[in-house]
Amino acid sequence: MRCAILGSGNIGTDLMIKLLKGTDASGSGTTPLELVALVGIDPKSDGLARARRMGIEGPHEGPDWIIDHADDIDMVFDATSAYVHVAQAERYKDAGIVAVDLTPAAIGPKVIAAVNLTEHLDAPNINMVTCGGQATTPMVYAIRRAIDHLPYAEMVSTVSSRSAGPGTRQNIDEFTKTTSTALREIGGAEHSKAIIILNPAEPPIMMRNTVFGGIPEGADHDAVIESIYAMEKDVQKYVPGYRLKNPPVIEEGPYLTPGGEVPHRAVVLLEVEGAGDYLPPYAGNLDIMTAAAQRVGEAIAHHKAEQKAGA
């Protein structure tokens, strides 16, 4: 599928470099995505300059350029901000362009690459939730699939202040709401909470995430731990720097949660190191978004190809 990236900031530029490698998100095959352009609004941006040096078009006319070239574009990766995506989503749909939304706008169905990758491949608009959502929802889902029900889940995502650009800062409210919703809709928690912290420490810290999951009476604790380790390996297939910072534990309670009192809780500590394609390795919060978006885009492309072959 022919694709364009909208947004020439950190996320858009990193995704461009990933796609231009020509390999799929796991690095084990050839990507089915052909990058046509990196589109921005600032003609002097570093991202657009890099695109031109790498032989890719780098126009600065923003969403209008995407619509004007709809006949040459099958998919757009929107790496702008939530309010921009809300304003443009219908235009992409009307033009027949599949939108993979890397903002917290959450117009289309939410997709977490390690959990529900294949559930919405025919949707005209897919939402990639947030960096914290991509990092922590898999672990909430891992806990949920090992027990009868998950009364409560909470995540705290701490990222380097340097890796939080204007889009992230403008979308803090959308971040917390969209992430918390994903913990319920995809992770399977009955109640949820999401918190993001921007840490100004120097040198910059890597992305750190803490996940708490309420464990009901009678749950198999060994099965929960085993499921968490299995999920770590699943995410590492496309984000090699995704790792458990410490062995997961089940703590003795009781704990009072919005979902009621639970006798135990699972605690999962995660670190995400970026691949260093464009962003520094400490910006794992941005890298996990671009890697997950590439994986989803490739899944859509393979699905469309299979449909065409079977027609």
Distance from C-alpha of 161 to C-alpha of 228, rounded to nearest angstrom: 28
Task: Tell me the residue ranges of DSSP E strands in the chain.
Answer: 2-6, 34-39, 75-78, 98-101, 125-127, 153-160, 192-199, 207-215, 242-244, 249-257, 260-272
Place of tokens 């639970």: 262
* Residue 198 parent element (H or E): strand 192-199
Distance from C-alpha of 99 to C-alpha of 236, rounded to nearest angstrom: 25
3-state secondary structure of 138: helix
| Tokens (6 digits) for 32 | 């089915």
From the candidates 131, 183, 186, 262, give the one annotated as an active-site residue.
131
Label the pairing between strands 207-215 and 153-160. antiparallel
Residue 132: burial class (beta carbons within 10 Å; 0-12, 13-18, 19+) = buried
3 is catalytic: no
Residue type, 58: G
Check if the beta carbon of residue 72 is closer than 8 Å to that of residue 4. no
Provide the 8-state DSSP code for 30.
Answer: B
Indicate which residues carry an active-site annotation.
131
